[in-house]
């Protein structure tokens, strides 16, 4: 039921199966398989050059796969005569003609899909491109305004599936907050929202499901919480004047203890609560007891360390 935003079943909507794309000797995407379900914001993560954009282009039939398949709601996208009511997409905010106004750009797209011109005004209002901004030629837009126009394009057909490639690039903080709440709203309406990014921090507050790829291959496909748990184990920081004695007690409990300065210990392998209990039993004075959870960013860096395509000189 395209157009309603509420598919009947909750099964996967986007299905990528053994998808491969080769450009001569280079393999951009290699036997990639994953699914994306409706009702969630799914993040599509990977370092630069991981194959995210190529995968999204294959989903939209812009690039033909060398092997495998990519379907949306059970169909390859190119089988549709018109696309906007099936899938809304923002692939690159610069994929517009600089000589047209935002309104003219949207009107041509709307007309080709038999979408009324009134809908153009609705989406322009929704993304905040009203008045003079809608009449201005897109060539003079900032990247943030172009992103807004791209989001308006994706929303035009009120589609049940939305694809966004790096939509937060160039947006101001207010814009980032707006986009996050928009994505969550779209997902809450039962739509499938698939958003790519090369920055984990962007996904942290946006997505609840993650597909992580590196060098064209799948690295992880799971919920954000599961993904975070993959990273380094939590570290407990303890500050106490009895550092040496507490370290011995903790070591006998099987913890790995590293001392940092005279009063500071960094403990792994034992939960903070247990550290507190042990300190209490042995009458040690604690000045600080905190748990540092591994950041998503760290988990992401760790997982993709081997698949980063472009490394700056220092990190080579």
Partner 1 sequence: MTTVALTVPAPRFTDLLAAEWLKLRSLRSTYWAIGVSTLVVIAVNANAARADYVNYPHYNNVTRDQFANTALFDAFTNGAAMILVLTAASVGAVTVVGEYATGLVRTTFAAVPDRRALMSAKAAVVTAVMTVYGAVVASASFAASQAILSGRGVGLSISYPGALRVVVASALLAPVSALVGMAMGALIRHSATTMVLATGLLLLLPIFVTERYHWTACVRNALPFNAWDRLVQVNYGHMPYRLAERYPTTVTGAWTVFAVWAAVAAVVTVVAVDRRDV
| Chain residues in the site for partner 1 (CB under 8 A) | 1-5, 57, 60-64, 77-87, 89, 91-92, 94-101, 104-105, 107-109, 111-116, 119, 122, 126, 153, 155, 157-158, 185-186, 189
| β-pairing verdict for 41-45 and 217-223 | unpaired
CB of 213 to partner 1, least distance (A): 20
CB of 203 to partner 1, least distance (A): 23
SS3 category, 39: coil
Query: Shortest gap between Cβ of 97 and partner 1 (angstroms)?
Result: 5
Residues in the chain: 316
CB contact at 8 A, 255 and 278: no
**CB of 170: closest distance to partner 1 in angstroms?**
15
CA atoms within 13 A on the CB side of 258: 7
Is the Cβ of residue 122 or residue 297 nearer to partner 1 in the bound state? 122
Taking CA atoms, 182 is separated from 126, 141, 187, in Å, by: 10, 22, 9
Q: Which is nearer to partner 1, 115 or 303 (CB)?
A: 115
Q: Output the smallest distance, CB 111 to partner 1, in A.
A: 4
The residue (of 64 and 262) whose beta carbon lies closer to partner 1 is 64
Are residues 194 and 12 in contact, defined by beta-carbon separation less than 8 angstroms? no
* For partner 1, the closer CB: 98 or 244: 98
Closer CB to partner 1, residue 37 or residue 80? 80
C-beta of 261: minimal distance to partner 1 in Å?
A: 55
Q: Which is nearer to partner 1, 108 or 201 (CB)?
A: 108
Which residue, 113 or 235, is less far from partner 1 as judged by CB? 113
- DSSP characters over 160-226: SEEEEESTTTT--HHHHHHHHHHHHHHHHTT-EEEEEES-HHHHHTT-SEEEEEETTEEEEEEEHHH
Q: How far is the CB of 304 from partner 1 (least distance, A)?
A: 26
Alpha helices in 3-95 (DSSP H): 52-59
Backbone dihedral angles phi then psi of residue 139, each to the nearest 5 degrees: -55, -30
The SS3 of residue 68 is strand
């Amino acid at each position: 039921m395209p157009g309603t935003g509420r598919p009947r079943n909750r099964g996967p909507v986007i299905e990528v199966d053994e998808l491969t794309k080769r450009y001569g000797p280079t393999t951009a995407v290699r036997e990639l398989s994953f699914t994306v379900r409706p009702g969630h914001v799914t993040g599509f993560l990977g370092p630069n050059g991981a194959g995210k954009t190529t995968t999204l282009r294959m989903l939209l039939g812009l690039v033909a796969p060398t092997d495998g398949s990519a379907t949306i709601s059970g169909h390859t996208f190119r089988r549709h005569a018109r696309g906007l009511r099936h899938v809304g997409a923002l692939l690159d905010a610069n994929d517009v003609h600089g000589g047209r106004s935002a309104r003219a750009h949207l009107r041509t797209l709307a007309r080709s899909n038999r979408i009324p011109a009134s809908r153009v005004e609705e989406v322009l209002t929704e993304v905040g491109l009203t008045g003079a901004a809608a009449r201005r030629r897109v060539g003079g837009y900032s990247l943030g305004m172009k992103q807004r126009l791209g989001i308006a394009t994706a929303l035009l057909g009120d589609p049940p599936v939305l694809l966004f490639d790096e939509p937060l690039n160039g947006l101001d903080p207010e814009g980032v907050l707006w986009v996050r709440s928009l994505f969550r709203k779209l997902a809450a309406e039962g739509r499938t929202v698939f958003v790519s990014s090369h920055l984990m921090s962007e996904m942290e507050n946006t997505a609840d499901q993650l597909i992580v790829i590196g060098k064209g291959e799948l690295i992880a496909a799971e919920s954000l919480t599961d993904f975070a748990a993959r990273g380094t184990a939590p570290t407990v920081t303890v500050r106490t004047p009895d550092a040496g004695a507490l370290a011995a007690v903790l070591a006998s409990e099987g913890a790995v203890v590293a001392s940092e300065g005279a009063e500071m210990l960094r403990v792994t392998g034992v939960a903070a609560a247990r550290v507190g209990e042990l300190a209490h039993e042995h009458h040690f004075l604690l000045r600080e007891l905190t748990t540092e959870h591994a950041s998503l960013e760290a988990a992401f860096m760790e997982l993709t360390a081997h698949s980063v395509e472009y490394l700056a000189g220092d990190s080579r």
